[in-house]
Chains A and B, each alone.
Chain A
């Protein structure tokens, strides 16, 4: 199929090239990381390490911080800054112990009544021998399930790449926000193109077909709010971007605070329960 034909069958509001540009922006080396935002949005950040079982996974950043006059817990994928740092942090691709660290800190937050800020930025969970040996599937499944049970407000923000199950493992919450040029997808466009088109050159078309942009996902009611980025992307004006993130987080927490606490988990369940599309045969 040619690109033109693809455009006809997939209704969309922007050309394939614009979607692909967002994919590139979301992944760019100079895109601000979770750590950039934590430093600017919060104060008194104290990093907590380790899953208490195997090791500390530097792909995941977790800790406690002050946010607008209250203490919160932070869980985030952290891709790293310099090349060396990025390698050490495995480009934000967590092993099971990373997800387990995040879960441990979220459970800690719950015990002390702290709201949770989750920042998502990962190509996906790491596909490696050790990851499989240590139960990548179990760690992801457990996080997803338990995030429905953690009885404190959770605000999830996709700040860059939301790569499949590895993203969802930190991705269940009462509000899901997305930065304008971030992406969230069940599979990378490259892998999707390789499998379905049998042609990696079709990645841009795959990206568009997957509806992975914030705009698409807002339309599909997966995302509650799009956080606008400065002209040219978040990296162009980090302080402005951080202010926008802070304002959106604040608004999200205010809205969640209005929900009676005993209804919080039922509403979270109901929110995700709606994320399905099928038809019924009569």
Chain B
């Protein structure tokens, strides 16, 4: 739990104990998030014993209560990109620790341990791929890398993903999971809100679809910038999404938060996301949306108005 408190600001403030789905167990890394070995596993939410293969088949979702187990960045890529089509770019962009930041631990050491834990260079990977045979640019966050926090590297990769989508005239899809800004990069992390918002704004002008998928949890500077700017905004069931973490709000207003506050369903009800899509339907839904919005298939044909996604 110590480590958890020391990454993004969400963990300290946001991950309360109001039920499951508040992010994955922080003690587990990207590589290690495995539903425990064995034929049967216990659901984090309904506590029922469920058949593991059934959970795996539905994209790590509990068959009893529809609880969405946390998944790794690579598992997400696997679920969304057509097999073998994901080609990463901007992988060479890595943090330079611009402020030489050090608190109880040096930022470079935190980075190194996050890299070791997750096998990732930073909290996002971006690449080109096909989704339902539609050539796309896809970016996926990892909450397990320093709370999915956005510093210069995450910002730059989002900007480059938007640039790539513009250059190739492809849609852009970003799947978020983030505690917010990476405070170890100070003002540079704040400025990534500006850079990314401006970059995805260019897609709007170019008439290219930009879709966002908000997964559990998405907070702070990521939500308050490119994540909320999608042409269509999708959320995963029960995902916690907001500006300030629940604990910050509780401390500010000195009262308990209502049940379901900041859940995907709450955002849908208040009009801030378009739809809640279960993981097993996500890829197909993205494909259908992209077709409606005029994206082309690999063959170059339009799929607008077609029967299948």
Q: Which residues of A contact B (CB under 8 A)?
A: 1, 6, 9-11, 125-129, 131-138, 140-142, 144-145, 148-149, 164-165, 168, 171-172, 184-187, 191-192, 194-198, 202, 205-206, 209-212, 217, 220, 222, 269, 272-273, 275-282
| Extra contacts besides A135-B272, A196-B104 (9): CB < 8 Å | A137-B227, A140-B224, A141-B229, A164-B190, A273-B198, A277-B98, A278-B94, A280-B92, A282-B92
CB distance A278 to B156 under 8 Å?
A: yes
CA distance A11 to B257 in the complex (A): 42
CB distance B223 to A276 under 8 Å?
A: no
Residues A278 and B225 in contact in the complex (CB < 8 Å), given A128-B249, A165-B190, A210-B183: no
CA distance A280 to B157 in the complex (A): 12
CB distance B244 to A127 under 8 Å?
A: yes
Q: Quick check: is B191 within 8 A (CB to CB) of the other chain?
A: yes
Output the residue of B92, B190, B200 with the most chain A CB within 10 A: B190
Residues from chain B with a CB closer than 8 A to the CB of A165 are 190, 193, 220-221, 224-225, 243
* Selected contact of B100 from candidates A9, A132, A134, CB within 8 Å: A9
Stretch from B4-12, B33-41, B67-75, B277-285 that touches the partner? B4-12
Output the residue of A1, A140, A165 with the most chain B CB within 10 A: A165
Q: Quick check: is B49 within 8 A (CB to CB) of the other chain?
A: no
| Min distance, Cβ A206 to any Cβ of chain B, angstroms | 7
| Min distance, Cβ A12 to any Cβ of chain B, angstroms | 10
CB-based nearest A residue for B95: A278
CB-based nearest B residue for A206: B103
CB distance B194 to A144 under 8 Å?
A: yes
| Min distance, Cβ B15 to any Cβ of chain A, angstroms | 12
Residues from chain A with a CB closer than 8 A to the CB of B183 are 186-187, 192, 195-196, 210
CA distance A184 to B93 in the complex (A): 26
Q: Quick check: is B117 within 8 A (CB to CB) of the other chain?
A: no
CB distance B249 to A129 under 8 Å?
A: yes
Residues A132 and B242 in contact in the complex (CB < 8 Å), given A6-B102, A144-B194: yes
CB distance A137 to B181 under 8 Å?
A: no
Interface residues of B in 184-198 (CB under 8 A from A): 184-195, 197-198
Residues A211 and B186 in contact in the complex (CB < 8 Å), given A6-B102, A137-B223, A278-B153: yes
CB-based nearest B residue for A149: B201
Kindly list the 10 A-B residue pairs having the minimum CB-CB distance in the complex, ordered from nearest: A127-B244, A277-B98, A275-B191, A196-B103, A186-B190, A140-B224, A137-B223, A136-B243, A145-B197, A279-B96
CA distance A145 to B165 in the complex (A): 18
Residues A275 and B261 in contact in the complex (CB < 8 Å), given A165-B220, A281-B92: no
Q: Quick check: is B252 within 8 A (CB to CB) of the other chain?
A: yes
Residues from chain B with a CB closer than 8 A to the CB of A171 are 194
* Selected contact of A9 from candidates B98, B106, B186, CB within 8 Å: B106
Output the residue of B12, B155, B228 with the most chain A CB within 10 A: B228
Residues from chain B with a CB closer than 8 A to the CB of A279 are 94-96
